[in-house]
Each structure stands twice: as structure tokens, then as C-alpha cells.
Amino acid sequence: MALLKKINQILLLLLVLTLCAILYNKVHQVSSALKNETVDLESPEEMEEDIPVVICAAAGRMGATIAAISSIYSNTEANVLFYVVGLKTTIPHIRKWIESSKLKEIKFKVVEFNPMVLKGKIRQDASRPELLQPLNFVRFYLPLLIQKHEKVIYLDDDIIVQGDIQELYDTKLAPGHAAAFSDDCDLPSTHEMIRSVGMQNTYMGFLDYRKQAIRDLGISPSTCSFNPGVIVANMTEWKHQRITKQLEKWMQRNVEENLYSSTLGGGVATSPMLIVFHGKYSTINPMWHIRHLGWSPDTRYSEHFLQEAKLLHWNGRYKPWDYPSVHTDIWENWFIPDPSGKFKLTRPDS
């Protein structure tokens, strides 16, 4: 009997020890799991938000896209996700260019734009046919191309970024505003440039006020215009206000009534945006859109002013990859030669 009691005590002790071992292992595993989870939660790569930047890659000017991306990537520590939009025929070229250069480290997605969405919406205009290229209208369709982001930056390809793109992304949009632009009257330093080359910076320069449909808008022709080459957009508001549908409506009306043309202010994509966003947009810091560098082959900004600028835009006919043009040295700092040799800079000695 005593022997049986002793055996039971030994078995009980072994059972207690086994339970203790199991409990120790469980606690240790939970502790390790919590530790790993904490590391994951605190990982900067997981916590930081991607900054989506949309930029087009058009045939004949892909070098512009490369220079723009290069300048953005080199001047920020932020996580930038580039959406490179092209036509089916141009996508292989731009993809190879990126992957075969130092830009292979960037985070990017290539998006194909179907020009059939523009069928019947563009009035043919022989004065500046380059403005009728399908990719010029990509900015109208941002929510259809970029779907998982609340806030998006759109940039024309003929730009160079000298500041940290995070600063532009942090632009505050007022409640109810689907986008932020830079006003054409917002920076006194550019006024002399505008006067010297005869540019327009009011609605009169973009819309035909002889047409009843334009007069019925009730917008003063002296209202300051804005440039949609740099956009910070709120995708939720854009979709809620059906901005794309509104823009398409005015495109179709222009086809029928010739309400605006490229012979006016210089952009068949700008005019419908001026109508749709009138009085309903936020503003971008003026130094984040120093433009008109492509309006004259002779008129230049001061070097000091250009150094202060966060973003430079060669809007106009005179592009920095062509000749003649101004401030090409700044642009070439960010240009990466085409490994295929298809895209070449035009220079006086070339």
C-alpha cells in the first residue's frame, strides 16, 4: 500500500513538471510572437505611406519622363510609387529604359491608357496637334487608372523636381475640393515673364467668350486661370463629384460648338478643367510650380530664383530636350541616356 502511494506521488510530480514545461513553452512562444509582431508594427517600411505620382510616357519624349522621375527619386527619402502611363506601343520602351538604368531601384507600375475612351470627345485642331495626343488627357481619368489611393499627384512630363515631393504631397485640400492647382497670378516673380512673351493668365485666354455657352457660365473673363500640369488630387471627392464625367461633357460640347481651341491659351486639356474646377479648388505653394520655361527660347529666369524653386515646368513649345530652349543645363542634370539609343537630345552641335 505504501509502495502504491509512493508511485502515485512520483506520477503526480512528473505530471506537474510536464505541465510546467508545457506552460513555459507556451509563454515563451507567445512572448516571441508578441516581440515579432511589435517589430513588424514598428517597421518604417510598413508604417510609411506610398506617395503615388502619375506621369505619362509619350512617344518621342520619353526622355522627359525619365528626367522627371530621376529628379523626384533623387530628392526625397519618401516612399514614392510611380504610375507610368503609356500607350500599348510605348510601354515596352519605357519599361526597358527604367529597368536598364539606375532607376531600376524605383517602385513603379506601368499603366496602359486606352485612347478609345476619347473617341468623339476631341475636336481636331491643326494649330498645335501635339496637344491632341491621347496621353494629354490622362489627368481627366485619374480614378479609373489609379484606384487604391486616396490622394494622388499628377505631373506633366516636362518638369523637374528640385524639392522633396513629400512637401507637395502634404498640400492641404479644403473640404469639398477634388484637386489643388497653382494659380497663374500667384507669383509676382513670373509676371514679367508672362508680359514679355505675351502669355495669357486669365480665362479670356482659354475660352471663347463670343460663344453663348461660355457667357452663360457667369465666369468673368478676367478671372485668373490655373495650370493643370501639377495636380494634387483627392480621389474620393473626384469620384463623388463625377469630375471625369463633367470634363467629358465639356469636351463633347467643344466638339459640337468649338468653345475653346489651342490657338487660344495653349491647351485643349486646360480649358475644360478651368470650367469644371472654377471656384472649387485648393492652391499649391507657388514655388512648387514655376512654369513658362518653355514659352520663349530667349527669356530666362534669374539663377537665384531658379535655385529657390521646388519644381520647374517647361510648358510651351520650347522643350529642354530640343533646341532652342532655355535652362537646359538644369534639366540635363537629371536626364539619363536611353540605353536603346532611340531617344536623342537635340543640341546645336548634334
* pLDDT tens profile 69-113: 999 999 999 999 999 999 999 999 999 999 999 999 999 999 999
Residue written as grid cell 527669356: 299
pLDDT classification of 1: cutoffs 50, 70, 90: low
Side-chain-side CA neighbours of 173 within 13 Å: the count stands at: 23
Residue with the larger pLDDT of the pair 124 and 244: 244
Q: What percent of the chain has pLDDT over 90?
A: 70
**Cell digits of residue 100:** 536598364
In whole angstroms, what is the distance from residue 161 CA to residue 251 CA? 31
In this prediction, residue 11 carries a pLDDT of 59
Q: Hey, which residues does 108 pair with through a beta bridge?
A: 82
Indicate the burial class of 20 (C-beta count within 10 angstroms; 0-12, 13-18, 19 or more): exposed
pLDDT tens-digit map of 27-78: 343 333 222 322 222 333 434 589 999 999 999 999 999 999 999 999 999 9
pLDDT classification of 245: cutoffs 50, 70, 90: very high
In whole angstroms, what is the distance from residue 312 CA to residue 286 CA? 11
In whole angstroms, what is the distance from residue 244 CA to residue 118 CA? 12
Q: Under 8 Å CB-to-CB from 136, ≥6 apart: which residues?
A: 268, 269
Residues in the chain, overall count: 350
In this prediction, residue 35 carries a pLDDT of 28
**25 has pLDDT over 60:** no
**In 43-110, which ranges are continuous DSSP H helix?**
44-47, 62-74, 91-99
pLDDT classification of 262: cutoffs 50, 70, 90: low
Residue with the larger pLDDT of the pair 333 and 125: 333
Q: What is the DSSP letter of 171?
A: P
- The verdict on whether omega for the bond into residue 324 sits within 30 degrees of 0, i.e. cis, is yes
pLDDT tens-digit map of 133-183: 899 999 999 999 998 999 999 999 999 999 999 999 999 999 999 999 999
Give the 3-state secondary structure of residue 30: helix
Residue 115's CB is within 10 A of a number of other CB atoms, namely 13
In this prediction, residue 17 carries a pLDDT of 59
**Cell digits of residue 104:** 531600376
Residue written as grid cell 481619368: 141
Residue 69's CB is within 10 A of a number of other CB atoms, namely 28
Q: Are 143 and 259 a contacting pair, CB within 8 Å?
A: no
In whole angstroms, what is the distance from residue 326 CA to residue 73 CA? 24
